[in-house]
A and B are shown apart, each in its own frame.
Chain A
Amino acid sequence: MTVVVEMEGVTKLFGQKRAVKNVSLKIVKGSAAALLGPNGAGKTTSIAMMLGLTHPTRGRVQLFGGDPSSPQQHVRLGVMLQGVSVPDRLSVLETINLFRGFYSHPLSLDRLLVASGLEGDARVMASKLSGGKMRRLQFALALAGDPEVLFLDEPTVGMDVTSRRKFWDELREFIAAGKTLLLTTHDLQEADMVADRVIVMNDGEIVADDAPERIKMEFAGRQISFVVQSDIDPQRFKMLPHVIEVKMAGRQITLRTTDSDTLLRTLILDQWDISDIQVTGGGLEDAFVRLTSEAGALI
């Protein structure tokens, strides 16, 4: 397996504040990893170090086995950063062409306009684009050099629903071609859709790093939901074994549990008057909330 990015015992201090604490991780070629975490968790700082934009205080960061700040390492890379606005007085087309000029084997202009959905805006001044279109232009710039690896920091912020759908379609195509993706996002549903690996950061540390399925299983638990037939006091479900939480919506009851098998058996053997039983895995969002807000209590 070719290693694209490697961090080894990396710590980054900003004055007294420790933004990243002793983080080690490897991103291998062909993987689609999502970096999740609340604001200030150290995601952007980690990405900045992987790209050589800032240097670690301690530890080692390698990109393609070399120095991340060396321009040669950036030839195979496409990047979307947060909080970047493009220069004024250049049209969308000229801005894309400027970036195409940075690479020796750029994608064609037409291909990039299609990928970003900006065919109709090619002649518009780039700095005048709306927030969502600006983000799409930056996606086109990230793809300009036909990269092997994409680093996307909060790529869909500001995009509308249609733009998002198109963006994820493009991204899935990119992953299907065997290329590597590392993205940070707040939209957990989207991370769940494209990522085959989820790295959760909190307070500068990695608190979970696994396939999305396993993270959901381990940290979100399972849910059993059903409809109660007669007037049962819902509070009675709280007494059952392995129940963490009881949610009610009319006659619909949802139990969050650490052991769905045992709970289900109990519900049936005790002959509770319930129907329409469904067992579902908890979402990534549940896992995320538990990992980041209850991290101290959990680990």
Chain B
Amino acid sequence: MKPMLALWKGELLRTARDRRFFTLTLGMPIAFYFIFINQVGTNVQIAGTFWSEYFMVSMAAFGVVGSSVNTLAVRLATERKSGWVRFLRTTPLSSVGYTVAKILTQLTLSLLIILVVFIVARFSQHVTMPSVRWVEILLWLWLGSLPFAALGVLIGLAGNAAQVLGTLVYLVLSMLGGLWTPVQALPTTMREIATWMPTYRFAQPAWELLAGRPISFVSIAILCGYTVLFVLVAAWIGRKVDTRPEI
């Protein structure tokens, strides 16, 4: 417990000093929010709600996916390559402790990103809704970010390719999942593809909550499916990477 908390604290301190995190992972969704709100207009109706609310959820999801898929993957790949992970394995910190610390760090950052996007939307576009709904959407986006943390771990195993792969997966998944352009505005084929994207299944329940509809279980099932897939592939590749001869 104590080693895990020590690592968690260290990781948060490192993120607080990470300029890349603030400009890209946190800055990009907020910049996009302002740009697309101004282009489309605040009071446009979409999927039973307002564009300013709908796109607030899109950008919170976009930020969380970026922090998990891109930032986490690059960091894990760097730590592996630098021998730091190997070094940590000689300390009383268990591999479970290491993983839990990483997940806690990720959850803390996700919470921060969601809150910042919500606050920006609340005060710039006067987004209002009952407190319960704020909390529901916050909790869904927060816990629903875990599959993407698993994907980040998976991409983190790609070594030198992690940076490029992470950025690519982050942007492609966000685009195909309808986080930039809403699926309602996409051609039929693209819309069909979107329904199979983890990003769409991550944001869709939150959009439903905005319109006062219940969360779809199909989305939860598909997200769970992706999580299991990411974890299994990561575990399989991880074992291969770890048994490679060292120099």
Contact = CB atoms under 8 A, between A and B. Distances in A.
Interface of A: 14-15, 17, 19, 44-45, 48, 51-54, 69, 71-72, 74-75, 77, 79, 81-90, 94, 97-104, 145, 151
Given A79-B87, A99-B91, A89 B245 contact: no
User: Which 3 A-B residue pairings sit nearest by Cβ, starting from the closest?
Assistant: A101-B6, A14-B245, A84-B83
B92 A74 contact: yes
Given A44-B246, A85-B83, A90-B13, A52 B89 contact: yes
A94 B13 contact: yes
A75 B92 contact: yes
Contacts of B245: 14-15, 17, 19, 45
B93 A54 contact: no
15 contacts: A45-B246, A69-B89, A71-B97, A72-B92, A79-B90, A79-B91, A85-B84, A86-B82, A87-B84, A101-B7, A102-B3, A102-B93, A103-B3, A103-B92, A145-B91
B94 interface: yes
Interface of B: 2-3, 5-7, 9-10, 13-14, 17-18, 79, 82-84, 86-87, 89-94, 97, 243-247
Contact of B7 (A53, A98, A145): A98
B84 A84 contact: yes
Contacts of B82: 84-87
A104 B83 contact: no
A54 B246 CA distance: 9
A53 B90 contact: yes
Interface centre among A15, A51, A102 (most CB of B within 10 A): A102
A77 to B, nearest CB: 7
A52 B97 CA distance: 17
A118 B247 CA distance: 29
Given A19-B245, A77-B90, A102 B14 contact: no
Nearest to B79: A87
A81 B9 contact: no
Interface centre among B9, B18, B89 (most CB of A within 10 A): B89
B83 A87 contact: no
Contacts of B7: 98, 101
A19 B246 CA distance: 10
B94 A71 contact: yes
Nearest to B85: A84
B87 A102 contact: no
A55 B75 CA distance: 26
B6 A81 contact: no
B134 to A, nearest CB: 33
Given A71-B93, A85-B83, A87-B79, A102 B18 contact: no
Contacts of A101: 2-3, 5-7, 9-10
Given A15-B245, A84-B82, A102 B91 contact: yes
B79 to A, nearest CB: 7
Nearest to A14: B245
A94 B97 CA distance: 19
A83 B83 contact: yes
A74 B13 contact: no
B9 to A, nearest CB: 7
Given A71-B94, A85-B83, A102-B2, 4 more contacts: A53-B90, A85-B84, A87-B82, A97-B6
Contacts of A45: 245-246
A94 B10 contact: yes
Contact of B6 (A79, A84, A98): A98
Contacts of A54: 243, 246
